[in-house]
A and B are shown apart, each in its own frame.
Chain A
């Protein structure tokens, strides 16, 4: 596969002096779905803003479809569709007008058939003559996606496409992104939700404090990150972990009322059933069980520690 975006040594210091990006190198392949994960303030939006021409880089270079984003901004920007994080629309415009406007703004000749197709794909066709202010929040976000797709971009940036969107719409969004990929569009999306990256992405990048900490194939990453915690709420308090449970390396939590076991969901044997069997053998009763995926926060903490150790 050919690369469609090449980022080299990208840094960004805001006017306040705050360093939001610190030497980011990244190559995106044409046709892939790339998920950029990171906590609030990590620099995801900043990175996208620079690539799209909304913010200026302090140093480093970016090429989109072979065009330098500064020297040959027209070539670079013509290839990009952007759906920003914030909902911002021209409230008084009609849906169809605002999408047609975007196409013209990007220098493409009128093509009502294409605009119609996009609006239909996004279930907005019925609302084409509505003013944007008459739409719900989820519909507005879809209008923004329609605008971004109006000029047939090769790369689509979706900055938190599912933030504040209900479960159903989130599923729709995932489906839509899948369909877009079929047409060959490269998609870069940011998210806080690991399951979102899991659902859609081919590759995942994790960014924290302006540094790209890891870029990996999704399957490989999920293996690494696929740890779960099993909490066993005991019927009676324990003072210490019985020696018979050493093999599972469990820890006692909640004042001796709970046992915590961390296991690998991707492993052949998770050890969960054998642990429960052993508890039964030992006559340790339990009232409740629950499992939890390691949160993104845990993953960042783990990554930061790994980084320090290395």
Chain B
């Protein structure tokens, strides 16, 4: 850990938020519209047939999953772009030649991307209230969980951005891996609703534990115990930090 250039963290953080502000309107409108659409389709059309899951009204049941899904994609997208673009345009030379440590770089980029994810998560949460009553059993845990998820997925996005050597590579992991895993991870249903062997197979999907954990903070229960969810979040954080540490030590795809 090396933290002595706090001004650099502030400069990068500000720069990144400024970048987000340029696309503020679309950036905030898109999650609101998407959430509304999900409510119309899932909450309205399907929810009218399937009124309750696990004793929770279906429209409320899907809220944590919706928030998680948006935060996964936003975090990965924003964090990966934040570091990929300087690589792509060549402006990364300045970061590499600055008296800035790896830790400071990560705090700044991941912090900025996580901030945006948290804002979007909050907007979706508020939008959902327009459609349905959403009780929150553990508000502090909910906020804490959102922060953990935002940071973990932004770290993951940051790794992706360093690894990617084309725009295609940048898109492929979120689209081909994270999206399907989220859909199959119980964003819109309870794992308990599945028949065997699918229920057991689903438990190999780490996303299940993340969504379940977040749902627990709302309703006090999830598909799996909250302790398992926390283990998975901690595991993801540790793995991402390990990979980033290695990337900076070896200069992987950053330094020639």
Interface, chain A (partner B; CB < 8 A): 14-15, 49, 52-56, 73-75, 77-78, 80, 82, 84, 86, 88-93, 97, 101-109, 147
Contact = CB atoms under 8 A, between A and B. Distances in A.
6 contacts: A52-B93, A52-B97, A73-B99, A74-B99, A84-B90, A104-B8
B96 A54 contact: yes
Nearest to B5: A107
A105 B94 contact: yes
A91 B89 CA distance: 9
A104 B256 contact: no
Contact of A101 (B15, B90, B100): B15
B130 interface: no
Given A56-B256, A77-B98, A107-B7, A88 B15 contact: no
A60 to B, nearest CB: 16
Given A73-B99, A90-B89, A147 B94 contact: yes
Given A88-B90, A101-B11, A101-B15, A53 B96 contact: yes
B255 interface: yes
A77 B7 contact: no
A89 B95 contact: no
A244 to B, nearest CB: 60
A55 B98 contact: no
Contacts of A104: 7-8, 10-11, 14
B12 interface: yes
B97 A108 contact: no
Nearest to B11: A104
Interface of B: 4-5, 7-8, 10-12, 14-15, 18-19, 22, 89-91, 93-101, 251, 255-256
A53 B89 contact: no
Contacts of A49: 256
Contacts of A52: 93, 96-97
B93 A54 contact: yes
Majority SS of interface residues in chain B? helix
Nearest to A12: B256
Contacts of A86: 90
In the A-B complex, list the 10 residue pairs whose CB atoms are closest, starting with the nearest. Answer: A104-B11, A88-B90, A74-B99, A55-B256, A52-B97, A77-B99, A107-B5, A78-B99, A105-B98, A54-B96
A178 B18 CA distance: 36
> Which one of A75, A77, A91 has the greatest number of beta carbons of chain B within 10 Å?
A77
A24 B113 CA distance: 42
A36 to B, nearest CB: 17
A107 B93 contact: no
B99 A14 contact: no
B10 A55 contact: no
A54 B256 contact: yes
B255 A106 contact: no
Contact of B97 (A75, A80, A88, A109): A80
A109 B7 contact: yes
A29 to B, nearest CB: 22
Nearest to B2: A74
Given A106-B8, A109-B7, A84 B256 contact: no
Contacts of B5: 74, 107
B256 A88 contact: no
B91 A88 contact: yes
B99 A102 contact: no
Nearest to B85: A90
